[in-house]
Each structure stands twice: as C-alpha cells, then as structure tokens.
Amino acid sequence: MTDSLFSPLELRGTRLPNRLMVSPMCQYSSPGGVATDWHLVHLGSRAVGGAGLVMTEATAVAPRGRISPDDLGVWTREQADALAPVAEFVRSQGSVPGIQLAHAGRKASTAPPWEGGDPVSPDDRGWVALGPTDEPYPRETPQPTAALGLDGIETVVEQFRAAAERAYAAGFEVAEVHAAHGYLLHEFLSPVTNAREDDYGGSFENRTRLLREVTAAVRDAWPDDAPVFVRISATDWLPDRESWTVEDSARLAPLLADAGADLIDVSAGGISPDQQVPNAGPGYQVPFAETVREATNLAVGAVGGITTPEHADALIRNGRADLAIVGREHLRDPYFGLRAARALGVDVDWPVQYRRAKPSTN
Ligand SMILES: Cc1cc2nc3c(=O)[nH]c(=O)nc-3n(C[C@H](O)[C@H](O)[C@H](O)COP(=O)(O)O)c2cc1C
C-alpha cells in the first residue's frame, strides 16, 4: 500500500504515528539556557495538534554554541531536567519528542530577531564565536571569532556526545544533529568557510570529518532502538563560487549512514549573506531531498514552504520524501496535524478533552 501523510514511520524501534514533523524553530526564550513554561505550551500545543514528531528548536550543546544569549541549551543537568516535562508531555499526546542538538559556530552571539539580530559584543552579554578559522561571518560589525584547534574540535565532539546522553535521559526519542544553515558543522563542510589546512579542511573527506565524528558520537550515546537525524544544507546557494553543492550532499549521505544516521533532514542555505535563493515558493527545497534520497537507503525529510495538507501528503505518496517537515505553518496553526487529517479524510484520534469538537462526531 502506498504510504501517505498519516502512515506511521518506523525508524529503528521507534514508531512515528504519522509523517508530519514540527520543524525546529528557535524561540530565543530560555534565560540560562533553561526551558520555561513557554516550551511546554509551545511544543505541547503542537503535540496536541497532531504532529507525529515534535522537534525542539536548536538546543545548544555548549554555551558558546548558542545563537543568542537566551537560547535553549542542554549542556547542564539542570537544563536537561527542565526539558524532561516537555518530552513527557509530548509523549503523553501520542507524539514522539525530538531534540535538535546544535552549535552555532561563527554565527553565535547575536541578539534575537526581534531585537535586530546583530552581534552581541563580548563586552556586553556576548562571547567570542568559534569557527573553522578566525574569519567572522560577514556583517557590518563582525563578531570576533576564534579558530578551533584540534583540542577544541575534540571538545565539540564530546559536547555533542554528552548533550545527547543528557537529552536521552530527559526523555527524547529522536536526536537531530544540526549541520545546516551556516552553523558550526556546516561551516566545516563548506569550502566557503573552511580554509583549514589540517585533517579537518581541504579535501571532501577532511571537510566532512567533523560531522561524521559528531554523528558517530551522537549515535554512540543514543540507544540502538532510537533514531538519529542529521539536518544538512543541501546547497550553499552560491552557484558562482566554489561552495557546498547538491552533488556534495548526495556524496555525503551514505557517509552519514555509515556514521549511524537514520534520516537526513534536507534544508539549504545559510552559509553566506551572498546566497542566491532562486525561488522560495512551495516545496522549494524538495528536489534536494529527492536527490539525497536517491543517493542512499536512508529516509529523508523534506522542508521548506510546505503549508498545505495536500502538498505534505503528496510528497509522501509520490515517494519524494519519508517525512514532511513543517515550520512556519505550525506557528500559524498549532493544530495543523488535526486540520490536515480532516482535510485528507483521515480519522485520527483527537485529545479526549477536545472530542466534542471533532467534526465527524459533532
Ligand atoms: C522562527 C524560526 C526559527 C527557526 N529556528 C530554526 C532552528 O532552531 N533550527 C533549524 O534547523 N531551523 C530553524 N528554522 C528553519 C525552519 O526549521 C525551517 O527549515 C524553515 O522555516 C523552512 O520551513 P517552513 O517554510 O515550513 O517554515 C527556523 C525558522 C523559523 C521561522
């Protein structure tokens, strides 16, 4: 039978009740990196709303890996403890809780978007960012950036591993390594940002080494019956420069499978302000997911401009992706999943508390 948006997806021993995932979305609302009531309500609502997998926002594995001073973190036990009720509530709704593990690299230490998103100085609440080299992300006032030494790289791998251990103990069932959008792991992948001359720069093999090591470390810390995802930027969207391309992503995917990844979440862009996004219309990144899917036996998730139930369902039915990942439409409507089921004529369970409002049983 053809899979559809409301077919379960089995990855290792973990069963997603449907193919709809809430895309990771930063909330910049965690003083001290600690989750608050906001996270319980925000992520909890989307579990109530019918998404099969609710992924947290980028959750920093180290203080210097935050994008903004108030980013969510999982580098301490206290932070993991604060996330545990969120994971538990998501699970209580029949949804699977996932956590995106992240390091912002040279794009760290910025103000939240609603304060303009400019760098925050180390003299204020900011810090010196870390990158493959000391070249900062290009901006009007570039953030001071330090190159990671070999010790620093080893530390990053261990930070991802330890964060994964804490996240699993907190109750998450899916770990997603954030290697997209111009943050640290993507900065190592791309020749635009990686001019290192050691084992972590230069050749494709060297540039992919850190991501392979991080993926293997997270896999190692994550139980055998629970899946590890990796989010990549399939292209830098810099066609006129030496950069990371869709062909590179197709070549990377089997290596990530070898390192223990179970699904590639295929996004794009973010490495440079010069990127040329040709058309950010509906499903604008889906062809990249298809290319990656063809290059490996791994499952893939498609993201970007998926806003309607019919579109999400068609991606699965037509075999273009295994998971439909929906971001902003979930901010517009936390109940997108329930609405999608209704639109597609699928009978799904509503929370018992809401049953009297379920259209077919009115
Ligand atoms: C408010 C907001 C915050 C975001 N934060 C993250 C994040 O923490 N991690 C990430 O990988 N992508 C992040 N993204 C990108 C989304 O996950 C998604 O890939 C993007 O919005 C495209 O999907 P959409 O068209 O369904 O919104 C964010 C997007 C938005 C709108």
Q: Which of 162-171, 234-243, 265-274, 275-284 has the lowest mean pLDDT?
A: 275-284
Mutation test of ligand 1: which of 23, 174, 264 has the most ligand atoms closer than 8 Å to its C-beta? 23
- Match 């990844």 to its residue by tokens: 261
| Span 244-275, pLDDT tens digits | 999 999 999 999 999 999 999 999 999 999 99
Q: What is the pLDDT of residue 297?
A: 86
Assess whether pLDDT exceeds 70 at residue 25: yes
Nearest CA to ligand 1 atom 15: 25
Active centre residues (catalytic): 183
Question: What is the band of 362 on the pLDDT scale with cuts at 50, 70, 90?
Answer: very low
- Structure confidence at residue 205 (pLDDT): 98
Domain architecture of the chain: domains with CATH: 9-357 (3.20.20.70)
Q: What is the rounded CA–CA span in Å between residue 237 and residue 244?
A: 8
Residue 361 has pLDDT above 70, yes or no: no
d(CA 45, CA 67): 25
For the Cβ of 328 lying below 6 angstroms from any atom of ligand 1, the answer is: yes
Q: Give how far the C-alpha of residue 185 lies from the chain's centroid of Cα atoms, to the nearest Å.
A: 12
Neighbouring CB atoms inside 10 A of 253's CB total 25
pLDDT at 279: 81
Q: Which of these, 156, 151, 132, 134, lies nearest to 143 by C-alpha position?
A: 134
Expressed in angstroms and rounded, the spacing between residue 357 Cα and the centre of ligand 1 is 31
Ligand 1 within 6 A of CB of 182 = no
Over range 1-27, report the average pLDDT. 97
Threshold 0.95, pTM exceeds: yes
Best probe residue, ligand 1, of 26, 61, 67, 101 (max atoms within 8 Å of C-beta): 26
pLDDT (tens digit per residue) in 97-142: 999 999 999 999 999 999 999 999 999 999 999 999 999 999 999 9
Q: What is the pLDDT of residue 220?
A: 98
pLDDT tens-digit readout, 167-219: 999 999 999 999 999 999 999 999 999 999 999 999 999 999 999 999 999 99
pLDDT digits (tens, 9 = 90+) for 30-44: 999 999 999 999 999
Distance 347 CA to ligand 1 centre (A): 29
Residue 337 C-alpha to ligand 1 middle, in angstroms?
Answer: 18
Cβ of 327 closer than 6 Å to ligand 1, yes or no, is yes
Query: pLDDT by residue (tens digit) across 53-66?
Result: 999 999 999 999 99
* pLDDT the model gives residue 278: 85
Average pLDDT over every residue of 311-327: 98
Does residue 306's CB lie within 6 angstroms of at least one atom of ligand 1?
yes
pLDDT above 70 covers what percent of the chain?
99
Q: Is the pLDDT of residue 72 over 60?
A: yes
| CB 103 less than 6 A from any atom of ligand 1 | no
Average pLDDT, the chain: 97
CA 152 – ligand 1 centroid, Å: 28
**Which ligand 1 atom is nearest residue 180's CA?**
11
- Give percent of the chain with pLDDT exceeding 90: 97
Residue 1: pLDDT band (50, 70, 90) is: confident
